[in-house]
C-alpha cells in the first residue's frame, strides 16, 4: 500500500476563478486527495426539488484535471432551512426537552423517518450523478456522526422509534417488565405505548431503560448510515467511508463501520487535549502545543479496527483551531509528527483540514494549509516535507500487534448509565490501560467485542466489559494468549442485572466479587509496593492465586497461567506493574519509554516519536522536539 | 422499652418460593421487624380498580409465621403508570417549569387533588384489608417525603392551591399586598388569581412571596400525610409512622409528625457525608468509611423530638450504597456502632435497608444484609452481634438532656429565601452549634419552636430563629434555664419584614442590630482570644454586657445572667468558647472530646463511640476503631 | 459648576405623615437632589387607565417645600400586573426559551411594540402633568437598562423585530446570505422570515448572525429610551437622564446617551467587586470593604463620555447591599472617598441610594442613609462631611486628560460572540489598560468609537476594537497624538469576516497577523525583561520596528514614531512596560502609584485617594485608610 496525503476543500466557499489555481497548488504540494461536498446541500438543492449539479460538476472536473482524486461527501449533516419547513419535527431534542434550532449543523434527529428519506433521496441523486465519475476516488457519508452530542435525541420521533424497537426486541410488554424488573418501583407498563424516553425523571431512571435507549439510539445511526451506503454502492465502485470523531462513543462505531469500506477520523490533537482527553492541568500545559502522546494513537488503533484494516485521517489539524477552550499554535514540526504517527499506525491517507482558512462563518479562526489571504500557512511546509519523505518510503505491509485491547461501545454506555462513582468512565479505563501498554513500548491492536479469533495475540486485555456477550466469552476462553480481565468484567447481563452466580464468573478462575466500592479521588488505596487503587475497588473472594494486593492485604489482582482478573482501577504506577507482570508471564519484552516518547512497530518499519517540546535521550539516540525517527526493519 | 432490630423487604421482588427461607433467616438473625409494601402499587393494582391483595396476604402470613412483626407501607411514593393517564397533570413540575416524567419514583405533586384522592383510596383499601391483621405491628405512610427534592412543585395544581391558601390566610388581596409590601416594585395584585408561583422571575421575587409558598408547600405535605393517617387509624390500632430523610428540610417535620405515633428516619452515614453534610475535603476523607461523627446523632435527636419520644431508624445503611457521588465500604464494626448510637439516642428499633441486595433496577449497587446471591453480606454479622448484645442490655428509660437546641423549619426556609451571604444556611448554623455541644461531651435535646415548657433544661440554645413566634418568645422569656440566642433571632416578622424596633428585641437585654454584613469565607474576623467570626456578622449597639468581642473591639456576644445574644456566625473555636462560657455560667460540666470521639448519656446508660479509623485514648480508656463502650449507670 | 449631593426616595413606601420630616432631614444633611417615582406605576395607575397623580403631586410639593430639587423617574422598569394581562407576550424570554414571570422587575421585552406604546403613554402623561412643575430639576427614563441581563430577549416580538431590522439593513435576503456567508454550513435563507434568533442551535451559530442580533437588541434599547426622551422634552425644559449600571455592556450606552442631557450611573463598589470586577481572591479580600481602586473611576470616565461631559452618580452605595454573593460593611470613611472620587472625575452630583433602608421586600438588607427605624445610619455622617467640604470647595472647570482610551460596545459584543479563548472579554482588556494607566498616575478620558477629534490627546489607546469603523480609522490616522493599537484591532469587517489584506492593516505600519492563538491561563509566554503575554497572542510578520518581544524572539509590540500595534494580551507587568514606553515616547510624565493609591487631576484640583485599609506613604505624604487629599492647583 502506498501512503498518501490530501486536504478538505469547499469550492462553494470560493470564487470559481480561483478553483484551478487552488487545485494546482494542492497537486504541487504533493497531495493526492481532496474531500468536497459535505456541507453544500443548500447549493445543490436551494429549494426542495430544485437540483443544481453544474457547479459541482465543474469543481470535480477542475480538481480532477490536475490529477487529484476526489472524496465526495453526502451533504446530510447540514439540511437546508427549507427542510425544516417540510419536516418541522425533524429537529433534535435535548435532554431538557428543547428542540434545537436551525442555524448551525447536525440539527436532525436520527429517528426521524421523513428526514431519513430525504437523506436517502439526496444520496441517491448524488450517487446517480457521480457514481461513475472517474475523478471520484472515495465517498463519505454525512460528517462526524455524533459531533456536538447529536447522537441522542429526545424527540417524539425518537420516542416512537424506541417503542417500536422495544416491541421488536421484547415481543410483549411483560417480557420487558420482567427483563427490566420494572416492579422495583412500580414502573411496570401495560403496553409499549406507555414507555417514554428516560429523560426528566425525578431521580435516576431504571438502568436497563437507559441502556436500551442507548442501544436503540446507536442502531438509528447504523440505519441512517447504511441507507446512504446502499444508495452509493448501487451506483459506484469507489469505497465508502465516514469520518468519525475523537472520543465520541455515543454510537457503536464498529456497527457503523461494518457497512463501510474505509473508516476515517478527524484528528485534532490540540483541541482534543483541551476539551476531551481528561488529563490534569500539568499534563495539559506540558503538551498544549503537541497534543496528548497517546490519544491520537489510541484512535488510530481504534479506527484501524473499525475499518477492518483500512483507515485514514480525514481531517488532520494543521494549526490553531477555533473550537477548544484554548487554541494554541502547534509546536513547529508536530504536524509532521502527527502525520507520520498516523502512517506508523497504518493509515492509508492523511488529509489536512482545511485547504484555506475561511475568513468567515463559524470556523473563521480554524487554520488551514493556506492563510485566508491564500499565502502559505506554516503547516503546508510540513505537509510538503512529509510528501517528500513518503516518496522514498517503503510500501506498507499489514501487521498484527502482540497485544489486543478490547473496546466495547455497549460497555461505555453501561458505565455511563451506572458509573457507580463520580467521573468513572469506560473510555478512561481502557485509555489508561492503553497508555500503560504504550509506556511499555508495546504496539497494540484494538479489537471489537465481536472478535472471535485471537490467534497470535500473546496478551489480550479486557478491562471493564460490563456485559460480556456469549461470543466474546467463548472466544476469550479459547484464546491461546493470556487474557487479562479488568474491573466490572461481566458485571451485568444483557438486561443490566447483576448475574447470579456473581461476577466475574470466569471459567477456571475461582474469584467472586463480594462487594464493590467507589472512592473519593483523594483517597487512593495503596498497593503493597508501588502503585495504588483509585476510584473503584472490588472485594474479591475465592481461591485464585493473588498477584497484587493492597497494603492491608486485600487481593486486587488474581490469576493463573492463562488468565487474570483485576478488581480495581489502578493508577499509572499500578498499571505499569500490571503490564510488567503480564509481559513477564507471556514473554513479551517491554521497552520502558522516556516521558513523552512513544514507539510503534509495523511489519516493515519501527517508528519513534518525541511528543515533548524538549530534546529527549532515547534508546535510539537523542530525539529533538517533535522528532520522528523511522527505521526500516 | 425493649430495643429491637429489623429489616426492609420486598416480597414482590423475589420468587414466592424463597419467602419462607428469607423469613426464617431474618428471625434467626435476631430481627423483630420487617417493613414491606411501600413500592408495590403496580402489583396491588395493576390497572385502575383491579385490586390484587392475595400475594400480599401470603407474604404477611409467611413473615408472621416465624414471629416477625410487619411494618406495612402505603405504596403512594410510586404511583403506577396508569395513574398518569388518569391524571396527566399530577406530575411534579420543577423550578424551570418542566414536568418530571414517569420512570423512577416520587413523581407526584403534593397539591394535586386527584392524586390526593387516589392516595386516600389505596390507603383506605389497604387499611380495611390489613387493619386487624395480627402480624401488622406498625404502619408507614408513603416513603421519604421530600427525597430527590420533591416537596416543591411549580405545577398548575400548586399554583391553584397556593392561591386558595393565600386567600385563606389573608382574606382579601389588599391585606396580602400590604403584608408583602408589594408596592416595592409595583408588584401589587388586584385579586388572588393574579398571584403566580415565585419561579422564573427576572431577578429575585419578593421574600414573603417565596416564604409563603414554602409554608404552603409544607402544609400540602402535612395534608397529604394526614389523609393517610386518618384512613389507617380508622381501621387499625397499630402505630403509624413515616420514614423521614437526612437533611431534608423542605417541609415541617414536626407538623407532619404531630399526626404520627412514631417518627422514623433513614440513616445513610456514608452517603450523607458525601452528598449533604457539607464538610470540607479533609473531613470527608477522614470519615469516608465511618460517616460524620455528629450528623446521625443530630437526626436521632431531631426525630426523637418529631416523634415526641418515639422514634426508629427505619433504614440503616448496611454497606456501600448506590446513590452518593462516591460509595465506599463501611469500616468493619461501624454498622454496629451506628446501631448502638441510635439506641443511645433512644431509638426503639433499628431496621437495616435492605434484606437482600437486589441485582436489578435502580438500587442494584445498594448493599443489603445478604448479597444478591443470598450469601451473608458483612453487615449481617454486625447485626447479629448487636442482637446478641441487646439480649443482655437493660430496658431503656426516658431521659431529658441538660441542653435544649431549637430547630425551626420555618427559619430554614427563611434563611434559604434570604441567605444574605452565599452558602449560609440555617441547618448548618444549628448543626455547627450541635457539633460544639457534642465536642463538649453534652447530651442534647432538639426541640421544636412550638415548645412551651423548658422545665429542667439548664441551657437553651436558639440560633437563627428568624421569625420568633409569640408563643416561643414567651416560653423562652419564662424559661428557668439560660437562653442563648444566636444570629438573626427575631430578624423578621411573619410577613418577612424587619421589625421596628429593630431586632433582636429581647426583653431585658439592651442590644440592637444596627447593621448586618456577610463576609467572604476567606476573610474571617478574629475574636480577642481564640476563634473567629466567619461569613456573617451583625453590628451590635446597646448597653448589654459584652461577653465576646472582635480584635477591633466590636461586640459579638452580649448577655447577662439569664440570656445572651450572639450576633455572629462563629467558627468551631469560637463556638467552643461560647459553649464553655455558657456551661460555666449555668454549671454544666463539660467533657472535652478527643477528635472523633463522642459520648451520650441516657437515664440508665453512658455510651462512648469512637468514629475514627484509629484507636483513640479517651477518659474511659482506649477505644478501638469503630469502638463502642456502654456503661450501665 | 457647583457640586451637589442627593438621595433616592420612595414616598409610596412610607406613610404620608413622615414625608415632611424626611424632607427636612434631607435638606439638613446638605442634600440638593431627591430622585423619586421610578418604581411606582402600580400606584400611579392601579388598573389600566385609572390614573392617580394626587399622591405624587403632594410628595413633590412636600419635597420641594424645603428646597429639594426632584429627579422624576418614569416607572417603566416595573410594569404592573395588569399590564401582563393586556400584553401576555410582552414578557422577556431567556436564551433557554422560557418566558420570565411577573414578580420582580424589568420583566419586559424591549422589542414588544405594545409595551413600547404603554411606555410612551405613561411617560407622556407624566410629562404633561409635571413638565412645568418648578420642583422638577431633572428627569430619569426607566431604571438601569440591562440590569439582571434584561437587554437580550428571545421572544417572538424580538424575532419579528429582528427580521424587520435585517430587512432594513440588508434589503434582500441574498445580500444577507452573502454578508454572513451562510453557504458555510448550508445556512442560506430564502426570505427574512426564515431567519430565527440565534439561541438553541446545536453548536455555535454563525458569528455575524449573533453580532447582528446584538446590534439589533441594542437598537431596541435606544429606540425605547428615545420615545421617552421625546415625550418628556415635548413638555419640559429640565434635563433628561438615565441611570446606567456598572459593567453592563449589552447595549450601546453612547447611543442611548446621545438622546440624553445627563448620563448617570449606579455605583456599588463593594457589590461590584464581589460580582463583576473579575479580580482574583486575594484582591477581592484586600479590597472587600473599599471596592476595587479602578472600577468606579473607569465608569466615572466612561459615563462622563456618555454624557458628553455631564454626568452624575445617581445611586451611591452607602453601606452593605443585599444582592452580592457577600455583602460586607464599608470601611469607615470610604463612602466619603467614593463621593470625592466621583467629583474628582467630574460628577455634577452624587446621590446616595437610598434614603431609608426599607425593612421589607427584595431590598430589605440594602443599607440607606437612615436605618429602618429612621435613626442615622453610618453613611449619613460621611455624606454630611462631604456636604460641609463641598461648601468650601472651588467651582469645577472642565478638563481634558492627556490620554484617551477608546471604548466600543460593538467590540464588546464581538469579543463575546467570538472570544476565541475561554474567559477573554473586551471589557477586561480595556479595563486592564485603564488600570495600567492609573498605576502610572495618569488621568484618562474614555472616548467613544464615534470620536472624530483627538486634538490635545498626547496618547490614544485603542486595544481590541475588532471592527474599526471607517470614521474612527480616519480620525486615528489623522490624530496628532500617538496611537497605540491593541490586539484584534480591525480583526473583523462589518459582516464579522476577517478582512483581506489581513489585519491589523494599519496605514503606514508594516505588520500583518499571520496566525492567532489563545492560551491556557496557566501558560504565560514570558517577554524579554519583565512581563508576559497571557491568554491571547498573535503572530506578527512585517518590517515594522519591534518594541517588545517574547523570550523566544517573537515580536509582540511593533511601532514607529506615530503609532504602535500590540498583538498580545499583556499581564500587568507587561502593560506597565507598554505604558512606560509610550509615555517616554510622547513625553508624558508618569507617577508610579503605591498599591491601592490613585490620583486624578482636573483643571483646578489634584486629588489623591488611598483605597487601602492601611495608611500608605505617598509622594504627597502619608494617607490614612480611605484617605482623600485635595489640592487646589
Ligand atoms: Zn470537522
Ligand atoms: Zn430509602
Ligand atoms: Zn439600583
Centre of ligand 3 from the C-alpha of residue A173, in Å: 60
- Give me the residue from A13, A358, A365 closest to C420, CB to CB: A365
Q: C134: how many CB neighbours lie within 10 A of its CB?
A: 10
Please give the average per-residue pLDDT across B27-39, as a whole number.
98
Say which of C231, C315, C538, C605 is annotated catalytic. Answer: C315
Percent of chain B clearing pLDDT 70 (strictly above):
100
The pLDDT score that the predictor gives to residue A396 is 76
Give per-residue pLDDT as tens, B317-354: 999 999 999 999 999 999 999 999 999 999 999 999 99
Buried b vs exposed e over A311-334: b needs ≥16 C-beta within 10 Å?
bbbbbbbbbbbbbbebbbbbbebb
Strand pairing of B525-526 and B532-541? antiparallel
Centre of ligand 2 from the C-alpha of residue B243, in Å: 8
SS3 per residue for A132-146: CCCCEEEEECCCCCC
Q: Is the pLDDT of residue C398 over 80?
A: no
Please give the average per-residue pLDDT across A347-376, as a whole number.
98
Q: Is the pLDDT of residue C1 over 80?
A: no
3-state secondary structure (DSSP) of residue C241? strand
Residue of B nearest to C96 (CA): B96
CB contact under 8 A, C500 and A101: no
Give residue A7's pLDDT band: very low, low, confident or very high (50, 70, 90).
very high
CB pairs under 8 A, 24+ apart, for A536-540?
Answer: A536/A420, A536/A421, A536/A424, A536/A487, A536/A568, A536/A569, A537/A567, A537/A568, A537/A569, A538/A487, A538/A513, A538/A567, A538/A568, A539/A513, A539/A514, A539/A515, A539/A567, A539/B329, A540/A511, A540/A512, A540/A513, A540/A514, A540/A565, A540/A567
A315 is catalytic: yes
Task: Please tell me the distance in Å from C572's CA to the nearest CA on chain A.
Answer: 21
Give per-residue pLDDT as tens, B423-479: 999 999 999 999 999 999 999 999 999 999 999 999 999 999 999 999 999 999 999
Task: Please tell me the distance in Å from B374's CA to the nearest CA on chain A.
Answer: 9
CB contact under 8 A, A189 and B329: no
Q: Which chains neighbour C (Cβ–Cβ under 8 Å, 3 or more pairs)? A: A, B
What is the spatial distance between Cα A266 and Cα B118, in angstroms, rounded to a whole number? 56
Mutation for testing the C interface, residue in B502, B517, B535, B551 having most C CBs under 10 Å: B517
Residue of B8, B20, B30 lying closest to B393 (CA atoms): B30
Please give the average per-residue pLDDT across B148-154, as a whole number.
97
Nine-digit cell string for C15: 406613610
Give residue B397's pLDDT band: very low, low, confident or very high (50, 70, 90).
confident
Say which of A315, A348, A382, A538 is annotated catalytic. Answer: A315
List, by residue range, all CATH 3.40.50.880 domains of chain B: 403-586
Strand partners, A281: none
Strand pairing of C628-632 and C605-610? antiparallel
Strand pairing of A532-541 and A568-570? antiparallel
Max intra-chain CA distance, chain A: 76
Give residue C134's pLDDT band: very low, low, confident or very high (50, 70, 90).
very high
Strand partners, A505: none
Give per-residue pLDDT as tens, B255-309: 999 999 999 999 999 999 999 999 999 999 999 999 999 999 999 999 999 999 9
Residue of A nearest to B319 (CA): A515
Give residue B573's pLDDT band: very low, low, confident or very high (50, 70, 90).
very high
Nine-digit cell string for A336: 509532521
B4-149+222-392 under CATH 3.40.920.10, yes or no: no
Q: Is the pLDDT of residue B603 over 90?
A: no
The pLDDT score that the predictor gives to residue C397 is 78
Give residue C609's pLDDT band: very low, low, confident or very high (50, 70, 90).
very high
Q: Is the pLDDT of residue A233 over 80?
A: yes
CB contact under 8 A, C203 and A104: yes
Say which of C45, C144, C231, C341 is annotated catalytic. Answer: C144
The pLDDT score that the predictor gives to residue B604 is 86
Q: Please, are residues B102 and B81 in contact by the beta-carbon 8 Å criterion? A: yes
C144 is catalytic: yes
Please give the average per-residue pLDDT across B359-377, as a whole number.
98
Distances (CA, A) of B432 to A563, B272, B437, B464, B580: 53, 16, 9, 12, 15
Q: Is the pLDDT of residue B398 over 80?
A: no
Residue B312 backbone dihedrals phi, psi, to 5 degrees: -130, 160
CB contact under 8 A, B100 and A496: no
Q: Is the pLDDT of residue B396 over 80?
A: no
The DSSP code for C300 is H
The pLDDT score that the predictor gives to residue B334 is 98
- Give me the residue from A39, A148, A326 closest to C520, CB to CB: A326
Q: Is the pLDDT of residue C633 over 90?
A: no
* CATH code given to domain C4-82+110-147+218-392: 3.20.20.80
- Give me the residue from A183, A497, A517 closest to B12, CB to CB: A183
Residues 6+ apart with CB under 8 A from A197: A154, A158, A159, A162, A213, B101
Residue of A nearest to B39 (CA): A185
Give residue A399's pLDDT band: very low, low, confident or very high (50, 70, 90).
confident
Q: Does C365 touch chain B (CB under 8 A)?
A: yes
What is the spatial distance between Cα A445 and Cα A436, in angstroms, rounded to a whole number? 14
What is the spatial distance between Cα B253 and Cα B221, in angstroms, rounded to a whole number? 9
Active site residues of B: 144, 315
Nine-digit cell string for C367: 443599607
Centre of ligand 2 from the C-alpha of residue B314, in Å: 9
Please give the average per-residue pLDDT across A120-124, as a whole number.
98
Please give the average per-residue pLDDT across C16-43, as a whole number.
98
Percent of chain C clearing pLDDT 90 (strictly above):
98
Q: Where are the beta strands (DSSP E) in A465-543?
A: 482-485, 512-518, 525-526, 532-541
Q: Is the pLDDT of residue C356 over 90?
A: yes
This model of the complex carries an ipTM of: 0.97
The label of the residue with cell 478538505 reads A8
Q: Which chains neighbour B (Cβ–Cβ under 8 Å, 3 or more pairs)? A: A, C
Residue of C nearest to B195 (CA): C103
List, by residue range, all CATH 3.20.20.80 domains of chain A: 4-158+209-271+310-325+348-392
Q: Please, are residues C326 and B520 in contact by the beta-carbon 8 Å criterion? A: yes
Nine-digit cell string for B596: 472523633
Give per-residue pLDDT as tens, B43-89: 999 999 999 999 999 999 999 999 999 999 999 999 999 999 999 99
SS3 helix, strand, coil % of chain B, rounded to 5?
35, 20, 45
Distances (CA, A) of A179 to A169, A188, B475, C162, C347: 11, 11, 59, 52, 75
Element (H, E) at A150: none
Nine-digit cell string for C574: 507587561
Element (H, E) at A442: none
CB contact under 8 A, B186 and C78: yes
What is the spatial distance between Cα C541 and Cα C544, in angstroms, rounded to a whole number? 8
Q: B254: how many CB neighbours lie within 10 A of its CB?
A: 22
Strand partners, A559: A564
What is the Cα Rg of chain C in Å? 25
Element (H, E) at C65: helix C54-65
Nine-digit cell string for A284: 495539559
Helices (H) and strands (E) in chain B, counts: 18, 24
Task: Please tell me the distance in Å from B409's CA to the nearest CA on chain A.
Answer: 24
What is the spatial distance between Cα C571 and Cα B181, in angstroms, rounded to a whole number? 49
Question: Any idea of the CA torsion for A92, A94, A98, A101, to the nearest 10 degrees?
Answer: -40
Nine-digit cell string for A327: 487554541
The pLDDT score that the predictor gives to residue B394 is 83
Residues 6+ apart with CB under 8 A from B580: B440, B590
What is the spatial distance between Cα C321 and Cα C363, in angstroms, rounded to a whole number? 8
Centre of ligand 2 from the C-alpha of residue C313, in Å: 56
Give residue A471's pLDDT band: very low, low, confident or very high (50, 70, 90).
very high
Work out the mean pLDDT of chain C and round it to a whole number: 97
Q: Please, are residues A483 and A586 in contact by the beta-carbon 8 Å criterion? A: no
CB contact under 8 A, A516 and B81: no
The number of C-alpha atoms within 13 Å of B3 and in the hemisphere containing its C-beta is 26
Percent of chain A clearing pLDDT 90 (strictly above):
98
Residues 6+ apart with CB under 8 A from B178: none
What is the spatial distance between Cα C112 and Cα C93, in angstroms, rounded to a whole number? 11
CB contact under 8 A, B201 and C103: yes
The answer for B 63-92 residues in CB contact with A (under 8 A) is: 75, 78-82, 92
Residue A285 backbone dihedrals phi, psi, to 5 degrees: -70, -45
Q: Does A498 touch chain B (CB under 8 A)?
A: yes
CB contact under 8 A, C187 and A106: no
CB contact under 8 A, C421 and A80: no
The pLDDT score that the predictor gives to residue A242 is 98
Q: Is the pLDDT of residue A398 over 80?
A: no
Top CATH class of B403-586 equals: alpha beta
CB contact under 8 A, B194 and C100: no
> Per CATH, the architecture of A4-158+209-271+310-325+348-392 is what?
Alpha-Beta Barrel (3.20)
The number of C-alpha atoms within 13 Å of B282 and in the hemisphere containing its C-beta is 0
**In A171-235, where does DSSP find H-type helix?**
173-180, 207-233
Q: Please, are residues A139 and A72 in contact by the beta-carbon 8 Å criterion? A: yes
A488 interaction partners in chain B (CB closer than 8 Å): none
A516 interaction partners in chain B (CB closer than 8 Å): 320, 365
Amino acid at each position: 500500500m502506498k501512503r498518501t496525503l490530501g486536504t478538505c476543500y469547499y469550492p462553494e466557499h470560493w470564487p470559481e476563478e480561483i478553483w484551478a489555481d487552488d487545485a494546482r497548488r494542492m497537486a504541487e504540494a504533493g497531495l493526492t486527495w481532496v474531500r468536497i461536498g459535505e456541507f453544500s446541500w443548500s447549493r445543490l438543492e436551494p429549494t426542495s426539488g430544485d437540483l443544481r449539479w453544474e457547479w459541482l460538476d465543474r469543481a470535480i472536473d477542475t480538481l480532477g484535471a490536475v490529477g487529484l482524486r476526489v472524496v465526495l461527501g453526502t451533504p446530510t449533516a447540514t439540511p437546508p432551512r427549507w427542510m425544516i419547513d417540510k419536516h418541522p419535527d425533524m429537529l433534535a431534542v435535548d435532554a431538557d426537552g428543547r428542540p434545537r434550532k436551525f442555524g448551525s449543523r447536525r440539527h436532525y434527529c436520527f429517528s426521524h423517518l421523513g428526514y431519513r428519506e430525504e437523506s436517502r433521496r439526496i444520496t441517491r441523486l448524488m450517487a446517480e450523478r457521480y457514481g461513475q465519475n472517474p475523478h471520484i476516488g472515495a465517498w463519505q457519508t454525512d460528517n462526524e456522526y455524533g459531533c456536538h452530542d447529536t447522537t441522542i435525541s429526545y424527540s417524539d420521533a425518537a420516542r416512537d422509534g424506541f417503542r417500536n424497537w422495544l416491541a421488536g426486541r421484547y415481543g410483549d410488554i411483560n417480557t420487558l417488565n420482567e427483563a427490566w424488573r420494572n416492579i422495583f418501583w412500580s414502573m411496570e407498563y401495560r403496553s409499549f405505548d406507555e414507555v417514554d424516553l428516560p429523560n426528566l425523571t425525578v431521580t435516576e431512571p431504571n438502568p436497563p431503560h437507559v441502556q436500551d435507549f442507548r442501544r436503540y439510539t446507536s442502531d438509528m445511526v447504523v440505519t441512517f448510515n447504511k441507507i446512504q451506503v446502499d444508495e452509493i454502492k448501487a451506483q459506484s465502485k469507489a469505497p465508502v467511508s465516514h469520518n468519525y470523531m475523537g472520543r465520541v462513543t455515543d454510537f457503536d462505531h464498529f456497527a457503523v463501520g461494518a457497512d463501510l469500506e474505509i473508516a476515517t477520523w478527524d484528528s485534532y490533537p490540540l483541541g482534543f487535549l483541551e476539551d476531551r482527553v481528561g488529563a490534569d492541568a500539568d499534563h495539559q500545559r506540558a503538551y498544549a502545543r503537541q497534543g496528548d502522546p497517546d490519544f491520537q494513537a489510541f484512535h488510530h488503533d481504534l479506527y484501524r479496527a473499525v475499518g477492518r484494516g483500512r483507515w485514514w485521517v480525514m481531517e488532520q489539524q494543521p494549526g490553531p483551531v477555533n473550537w477548544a477552550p484554548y487554541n494554541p499554535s502547534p509546536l513547529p514540526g508536530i504536524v509532521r509528527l502527527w502525520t507520520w504517527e498516523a502512517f506508523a499506525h497504518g493509515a492509508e491517507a492523511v488529509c489536512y483540514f482545511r485547504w484555506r482558512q475561511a475568513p468567515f462563518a463559524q470556523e473563521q479562526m480554524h487554520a488551514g494549509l493556506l492563510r485566508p489571504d491564500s499565502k502559505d500557512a506554516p503547516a503546508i511546509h510540513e505537509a510538503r516535507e512529509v510528501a517528500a519523505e513518503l516518496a522514498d518510503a517503503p510500501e506498507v505491509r499489514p501487521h498484527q500487534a502482540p497485544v489486543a485491547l478490547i473496546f466495547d461501545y455497549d460497555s461505555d454506555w453501561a458505565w455511563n448509565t451506572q458509573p457507580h462513582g463520580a467521573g468513572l468512565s469506560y473510555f478512561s479505563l481502557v485509555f489508561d490501560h492503553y497508555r500503560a501498554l504504550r509506556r511499555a513500548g508495546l504496539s497494540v491492536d484494538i479489537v471489537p467485542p465481536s472478535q472471535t479469533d485471537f490467534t497470535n495475540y500473546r496478551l489480550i486485555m479486557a478491562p471493564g466489559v460490563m456485559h460480556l456477550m456469549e461470543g466474546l466469552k467463548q472466544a476469550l476462553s479459547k484464546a491461546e494468549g493470556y487474557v487479562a480481565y479488568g474491573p466490572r468484567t461481566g458485571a451485568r447481563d444483557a438486561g443490566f442485572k447483576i448475574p447470579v452466580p456473581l461476577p466475574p464468573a470466569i471459567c477456571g478462575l475461582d474469584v467472586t466479587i463480594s462487594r464493590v466500592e467507589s472512592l473519593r479521588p483523594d483517597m487512593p488505596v495503596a498497593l503493597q509496593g508501588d502503585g495504588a487503587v483509585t476510584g473503584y475497588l472490588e472485594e474479591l473472594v475465592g481461591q485464585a492465586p493473588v498477584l497484587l494486593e493492597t497494603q492491608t492485604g486485600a487481593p486486587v489482582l488474581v490469576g493463573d497461567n492463562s488468565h487474570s482478573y483485576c478488581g480495581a482501577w489502578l493508577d499509572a504506577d499500578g498499571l505499569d506493574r500490571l503490564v510488567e507482570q503480564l509481559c513477564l508471564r507471556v514473554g513479551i519484552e517491554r521497552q520502558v519509554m522516556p516521558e513523552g516518547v512513544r514507539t510503534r512497530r509495523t511489519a516493515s518499519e519501527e517508528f519513534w516519536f518525541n511528543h515533548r517540546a524538549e530534546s529527549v535521550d532515547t534508546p535510539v539516540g537523542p530525539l529533538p522536539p517533535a522528532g520522528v525517527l523511522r527505521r526500516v526493519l
